[in-house]
Structure 1
Amino acid sequence: MKRIIPALILFFSFCNLNAQVVGENHSNFTKADTLRGSLRPERTGFDVQKYHLKLKVEPENKFISGSNTISFKVIAELPVMQLDLFKNMQIDSIMHRGKELSYEREYNAVFIKFDEPLQKGISDSIQFYYHGNPVVAKNAPWDGGFVWDKDEDSNPWIGVAVQGTGASLWYPNKDHQSDEPEEARLDIAVPNGLMNVSNGRLIGEKDLGNGFTEWSWKVVNPINNYNIMLNIGNYVHFSDEYRDLTLDYYVLPYNLEKAKVHFTEVKDMMACFYKKMGPYPFVEDGFKLIETPYLGMEHQSAVAYGNQYRKGYLGRDLSGTGIGLKFDFIIIHESGHEWYGNSITAKDIADMWIHEGFTSYTEAIYTECRWGKKESLQYIKGIRRNISNQRKIIGDYGVNAEGSSDMYYKGSNLLNMIRSIYDNDELWWKTLRDYTETFKHRTITTEDTEEFFDMATEVDLKPVFDQYLRHASLPVLQLRQADDQILYRWKADVLSFKMPVDVFIDEEEIRLNATSEWQSYETGEELDELKVNDLEFYIETEIVP
C-alpha cells in the first residue's frame, strides 16, 4: 500500500488500428448520418432475433446475390420498418407472408410498408432479396468494403471489413449497434474448390451441382451486425483446444506449417484472459483465426488475421519500447475484442471507446501475464506516443459518429490509471471480471461503464471519466514551492476536478488527494525532488510561480 496523505491536510497522432473511424474531423452531419445513427419508431418498433443470409458469391464479377431472412419481435405497433442497405445494391423484392411489400429508399435506408401495421408482441419475419457489386475497400480495414484478392497460387481470396462503415454495405439489416440478432445462419455459395469460413460452427457443405459449393455456418450467440462475415479462399484447416474451448485455424496451404507454430500463442493468451477477464464469452460458437488479405478485424468467433505471422504490428512496435515485439499484436488485440466489443457492445458508435479502450488494455494485460507488471506499465507508457489529445474520445450521438482515435490508447491509459487509483490489484481484477460477466452479451453505454467502476471504490471517479472521455486535454497538476511546503492543485476542463495522484518525494511514494483548490504538503525537499509516478498516471504537470 502507498502512503496516503489525508485530503484535509493536503488537500502521436495515431490512426485507427483496425477499423474505420466514422465522423473523425466531421461535424457537418447530414440526414443520411441521422438515418443511419438515430433510433426512431421505424427502428425501435422491432427487435431483431435472427439473420439468415443465403448468398452466392461470384469472384470473377465481384458480385453477390441472394437473400436475408430477418426474424423479429414487434415491440410497438409497426406500420413501417426501416432496414438498411447501401444504395448501390439492388433490391429484387421484399416478401412478407408470401406477399411482396412496397418500400421507399432514402440514402442507404429502406422504409418497408406493411399492408396492415404489425401488432405489438408478435413474432414475424421478412425475406429480403437483393444483388449487386458491393463497395470495394481501397485500404481495408481502414475503409469499409469487400477485398477481392488472389493468393500466391492465384486462387481467389476474399474478405470483408465494414466496422463503422456498416454491415449494410453488403447485406440488408437493422444497421445499428443497439440491436443484435440472438443468432445467425450463413449459407454462402462459392466456386467449387474454394471454402467459405464464417462465424460460429460449420453445420454443412453442399455441392449445388452448378459449379458452386454452399458452406453453412450457424451462430447461437448474440452478434454485432458488422461481425457477421464471410472469408473465401483455398483454406486448409487445423485445430487445437483450450479447456472446453475449440480453437480452429483456417490458413492458406503454403502457410500451414508456419501457422501451426505461430498460433501456439493463442493458448497462452487464453490462459491469461480467462484468469484476468473471465471465460471466453462464446464457447458454444468456438474461436477461430482466419488468414485474410487484410490486416485484421475482430469478427466474432471468426477473427480475421493478416499480420503475416510476425510479432508486433506488421513487425513494428507501437509502444517504441521493444515490448510490443514480444507478441503478435493482431492475435492479442483482435481476440481481446471477443470480450470487449463483441460480448460487451456500445449501444451507440459514439461510445466505441468501450470497445477500443478496453481492448487496447488487453495488450497490457497479456504483457503482464507473460512478462510481469513492470514491462506492462512500460508498454502502456510507451503507447502514449500514439495519443494526440486533440479531440474528445466520445463522439456525437445519434449520427453514427465515433470520437477521436485516442479511444484506443488514451482509453487504455485511463483504465490503467483507474487501476492505480484503486490501489488494490485484487479489487481491480475482480471488478474487471465482474464487469465482463455483468454485461456479457449486452449492449451498454458509457454511463453504464462509469457507474460500474465508480461503485467498486470509495474514490469518486466521475470527474476522472468526465475529463478523459469528454474533453481533449489532460488534467494539469500545478505545483508551487512555498518555503518548506509543496503546493499543488488541478487545472482541468471539469469544474471542481479532483483525482488522487501518486508522486515520489525523496524516493518515497505518496498519494496526493488533489482537487482544484491549492493544498500543501509539508516537506524539507525542493520541488524538483517531486516526480509523478508516470508509469501509472497519465497527466501533465506545470510549475507555477
Structure 2
Amino acid sequence: MRLSSILCFILLGFSMQAQLLDSKPSNFTRADSLRGSLRPERSHFDVLKYNLDISLDIKNKSIQGFNEITAKVLKEQRFMQLDLFKNMQIDSVIYQGRTLAYEREGNAFFIDFEKKLPAGKQIVFSVYYRGKPKVAVNAPWDGGFIFSKDKNGNPWVSVAVQGTGASLWYPNKDHLSDEPESARIHVSVPNGLMNVSNGRLVGKKAISPDLTRWSWEVKNPINNYNIILNVGDYTLIKDEYKGLDLHYYVLSYNEDKARQHFKEVKPMMDCFYEKFGAYPFIEDSYKLVETPYLGMEHQSAVAYGNQFSNGYLGRDLSGTGVGLKWDFITIHESAHEWFGNSISASDIADLWIHEAFTTYAESIYVECRWGKEDALKYLYGIRANINNQSPIIGTYGVNHEGSGDMYYKGANMLNTLRSIIDDDKKWWALLKAFSLNFKHQVSNTQEVVAFFEAHTSVEVSPIFLQYLNYPDLPELQIKEKQGKLFGRWVADVPNFSMPIRLGNQQKNKVFDLNTQWQTIDFDLSLDEIGYPRAEYYIRFKRIKK
C-alpha cells in the first residue's frame, strides 16, 4: 500500500480516537495522571537496570531493602518522579554517597538531585524502603502479595501486580513505556525455602543463621509488573527444547504430577516457534513456577496455578469441549512471552496488544494440534464471553485499561483479519513478521496497525479502528430488490469497508463492500445467502420489506 494511504488511515484513527475519548470516563484524578502520564519528571530519563535487594519477613508479612536504579538522562532535569505505594515507607534516597531530599504525593515521590542533571549522563542511585505491602484478596485479579501455605504447612508466598502496579512492592518508574534493559533480583528468605524470580539463578548465599539470599539475573528488557518473587518448598525439574532450557519449579510433593503434565510444553513450543519465531528470552530460560494463585505471564518465570488440569481450572471457556484438550494457563501465559513480554504496550490503554494476540494464540495452538476446524470452533465458542458494551482501547495517560473484550473480541478480530486476507500462507508470514519485527519493543496501537496496513493489500486501519474503539460490531446488511441482492456495511467509522465471503456451502465468493448499497452479483435468494460465521465476527441482518 502507498505511504500516503497508510498515513491517511492512521490520521483517521487519531481523529476518531480523539472524538471517542470525549465519550470515555472523565472522572480521573490527579493520582491517575501521576501514575499514567509521562510528565517531564518521568520522561527525561530512561531506566537501564534495576538491582532489587529485599528481605522477606513472612511472619509479619513485610519486606525491607533497596532498589538500585541505573538510568540515562535524556533531557536536562533536576527532579525525578518514581513510584512506591504510600503505605510503604521510604527510608532514604542515596546518590553519589549523599542523601537526597524527596517529596511524596500519594503513590508517587519526587527526588531532588539538587541541580539539573545533564542530558546523556548515566546515573546510579538507590532507594531504601520497607513496609507491609498490600495483600491481594483475589489474586491475580487484584494486585498484591499472596501469603499462603502448601498442604505440608510450609510458607508459600508470591505476588501479582499487573494493572495495580509494581510500585505496590518496590520503587520504580511504574509506567509500561519504560522497561529496564536488564535486572537483578535478590530475595532473602528463611532457610529451607527457595525463592524463584525471573531469569537465571546466579547466586545462593547464607546471610545469617536463619536467612538465605537467592539472586537472579535477567538479561533482557522486562516489564515492571513481570518482576517477581516466588517463595516455597520448591523442587526443580529440568528439560530442554532446541537449546532452550525448560525449568519447572513445583512444590516438592507435585514433582511426579508435574513431570507428566508439563509434557505439553514441547508441542506448544513446536507450534509457537513455527508461528511466532523462537522464544524471545533464550538467555533467561523458560520457566513454569507453581504459584498459590491461578497464573500470570511473569517473564521467564511464568506463574502456574491451574492444578495440573486441562481447561481453565477444569472448565472450558469456549463451552465446546475444545478447551478441555489442553491446559489453559500453560498455553495462554506462555504465549504472553511473545505478546505482552516481548512486544509490550507503551500505555495500559493499549493492553489489547498483549491480550488479543495472546488469546488468539490459544486458537493457534489448537490448530497446530487438532486442526483448523477445532480452532474455529474454539474461537466461535469464546464469543459467548464478549459484552460489546465499551471500547477495547482505554483512555491514554491515566492508567486506564479498556474493556475486557480485549481478550475474546480481540482474538475474533484477528481471526476476522485472517479471513479478510484470505490467504493462510500470507497470514502466517504476516503474523511471524510482526512478532519478529516488534521483538523486545514497546509499541502502541498506531504502530501495530500501521505495520499490518503496510503488509497487506487490504485497507485494515478502519477495521482495527471499528473493533478497538467502538463497542458495536460492523453490521452487514443485505436486501433484495427487483430480484437482485444488495449489501452494505453499517459502522461507526466513516467510509468503512471490508471484504467478506458470501454465499452458501456449495458456492461462495468474496465481495468488497462499503457503507453504500452495492450490487451482490450472486444467483442466491435473500434467505439463501450467508457467510462463514466462525470466520468473521460481525453482525448480519437481512432486510425484508
Whichever residue aligns with residue 125 of structure 1, its letter is: V
Residue matched to 2:232? 233
Residue matched to 2:198? 199
Counterpart Cα distance in 2 of 1:26 and 1:212 = 48
Counterpart Cα distance in 2 of 1:169 and 1:49 = 21
Residue matched to 1:178? 177
Give how far 1:510 is off: 1.5
Contact 1:393 1:407 in 2 (8 A): yes
The one-character-per-residue Cα deviations of 1:270-303 (angstroms, maximum 9, x if unpaired) are: 0100001111000000000000000000000000
Asked if 1:271 corresponds to 2:270, the answer is: yes
Give how far 1:306 is off: 0.2
Counterpart Cα distance in 1 of 2:208 and 2:497 = 69
Residue matched to 2:210? 211
Residue matched to 1:224? 223
1:324-339 pair list within 5 angstroms: 324-339=323-338
Residue matched to 1:13? none
Asked if 1:85 corresponds to 2:79, the answer is: no
Give how far 1:515 is off: 0.5
Residue matched to 2:12? none
Counterpart Cα distance in 2 of 1:141 and 1:525 = 51
Asked if 1:424 corresponds to 2:423, the answer is: yes
Paired residue secondary structure (2:416): helix
Counterpart Cα distance in 1 of 2:111 and 2:520 = 67
Residue matched to 1:18? none
The one-character-per-residue Cα deviations of 1:236-279 (angstroms, maximum 9, x if unpaired) are: 11110100100000001111100000000001100100001111
Contact 2:144 2:161 in 1 (8 A): yes
Counterpart Cα distance in 1 of 2:26 and 2:168 = 22
Asked if 1:129 corresponds to 2:116, the answer is: no
Tell me whether 195-204 or 497-506 shows the greater mean CA deviation: 497-506
Paired residue secondary structure (1:185): strand
* CA spacing shift, 1:337–1:506, aligned 2, 3 Å: closer
Higher relative contact order (CA 8 A, sep 6+): 1
Residue matched to 1:368? 367
Counterpart Cα distance in 2 of 1:137 and 1:241 = 34
The one-character-per-residue Cα deviations of 1:37-62 (angstroms, maximum 9, x if unpaired) are: 00011011110000001100011100
Whichever residue aligns with residue 370 of structure 2, its letter is: W
Whichever residue aligns with residue 496 of structure 1, its letter is: N
Paired residue secondary structure (1:436): helix
Give how far 1:27 is off: 4.3
Paired residue secondary structure (2:318): coil
Counterpart Cα distance in 2 of 1:500 and 1:156 = 57
Contact 1:506 1:529 in 2 (8 A): no
Give how far 1:97 is off: 0.3
Contact 2:503 2:524 in 1 (8 A): no
Paired residue secondary structure (1:530): coil
Counterpart Cα distance in 2 of 1:354 and 1:400 = 15
* TM-score calculated relative to the size of structure 1: 0.95
Whichever residue aligns with residue 189 of structure 1, its letter is: S
Counterpart Cα distance in 2 of 1:522 and 1:161 = 55
Counterpart Cα distance in 2 of 1:333 and 1:524 = 44
1:294-373 pair list within 5 angstroms: 294-373=293-372
Counterpart Cα distance in 2 of 1:384 and 1:523 = 30
User: Which sections of structure 2, spanning at least 5 residues, go unmatched?
Assistant: 1-23
Contact 2:156 2:232 in 1 (8 A): yes
The one-character-per-residue Cα deviations of 1:364-390 (angstroms, maximum 9, x if unpaired) are: 110000000111111111110010000
Residue matched to 1:534? 533
Whichever residue aligns with residue 188 of structure 1, its letter is: V
The one-character-per-residue Cα deviations of 1:429-461 (angstroms, maximum 9, x if unpaired) are: 111111111111110010111011111111111
Counterpart Cα distance in 2 of 1:152 and 1:356 = 33
Paired residue secondary structure (1:263): helix
Residue matched to 1:248? 247
Aligned residues: 521
Contact 2:294 2:306 in 1 (8 A): yes
Paired residue secondary structure (1:408): helix
Contact 2:288 2:302 in 1 (8 A): yes
Identical residues among aligned pairs (%): 57
Residue matched to 1:257? 256
Residue matched to 1:6? none
Counterpart Cα distance in 1 of 2:170 and 2:125 = 14
Whichever residue aligns with residue 30 of structure 1, its letter is: T
Asked if 1:406 corresponds to 2:405, the answer is: yes
1:485-496 pair list within 5 angstroms: 485-496=484-495
Counterpart Cα distance in 1 of 2:521 and 2:133 = 67
Residue matched to 2:59? 60
Contact 2:176 2:347 in 1 (8 A): yes
Whichever residue aligns with residue 109 of structure 2, its letter is: V
Residue matched to 2:519? 520
The one-character-per-residue Cα deviations of 1:310-337 (angstroms, maximum 9, x if unpaired) are: 0000000000110000000000000000
Residue matched to 2:99? 100
Superposed CA RMSD in Å reads 0.9
Residue matched to 2:452? 453
The one-character-per-residue Cα deviations of 1:161-211 (angstroms, maximum 9, x if unpaired) are: 000100000000000000000000011000000000000000011011230
Contact 1:484 1:522 in 2 (8 A): no
Asked if 1:477 corresponds to 2:476, the answer is: yes
Counterpart Cα distance in 1 of 2:147 and 2:289 = 16
Contact 2:179 2:221 in 1 (8 A): yes
The one-character-per-residue Cα deviations of 1:105-135 (angstroms, maximum 9, x if unpaired) are: 1010010001111111111111100000000
Whichever residue aligns with residue 340 of structure 1, its letter is: F
Paired residue secondary structure (1:366): helix
Counterpart Cα distance in 2 of 1:533 and 1:297 = 34
Tell me whether 515-524 or 149-158 shows the greater mean CA deviation: 515-524
User: Which sections of structure 1, spanning at least 5 residues, go unmatched?
Assistant: 1-24
Contact 1:484 1:525 in 2 (8 A): no
Counterpart Cα distance in 1 of 2:38 and 2:314 = 42
Give how far 1:26 is off: 5.7
Whichever residue aligns with residue 347 of structure 1, its letter is: S
Give how far 1:522 is off: 3.1
* TM-score calculated relative to the size of structure 2: 0.95
Paired residue secondary structure (1:527): coil
Whichever residue aligns with residue 238 of structure 2, its letter is: S
Tell me whether 495-504 or 309-318 shows the greater mean CA deviation: 495-504
Residue matched to 2:383? 384
Asked if 1:146 corresponds to 2:145, the answer is: yes
Give how far 1:502 is off: 1.2
Paired residue secondary structure (2:489): strand
Contact 1:389 1:406 in 2 (8 A): yes
Contact 2:194 2:234 in 1 (8 A): yes
Tell me whether 275-284 or 113-122 shows the greater mean CA deviation: 113-122
Asked if 1:543 corresponds to 2:509, the answer is: no
Paired residue secondary structure (1:395): coil
Counterpart Cα distance in 1 of 2:135 and 2:505 = 60
Residue matched to 1:4? none
Counterpart Cα distance in 2 of 1:505 and 1:275 = 33
Counterpart Cα distance in 2 of 1:415 and 1:341 = 16
Contact 1:292 1:304 in 2 (8 A): yes
Counterpart Cα distance in 1 of 2:246 and 2:444 = 31
Counterpart Cα distance in 1 of 2:401 and 2:237 = 37
Counterpart Cα distance in 2 of 1:319 and 1:367 = 12
Residue matched to 1:12? none
Residue matched to 1:111? 110
Counterpart Cα distance in 2 of 1:352 and 1:197 = 27
Whichever residue aligns with residue 83 of structure 1, its letter is: L
Counterpart Cα distance in 1 of 2:124 and 2:48 = 9
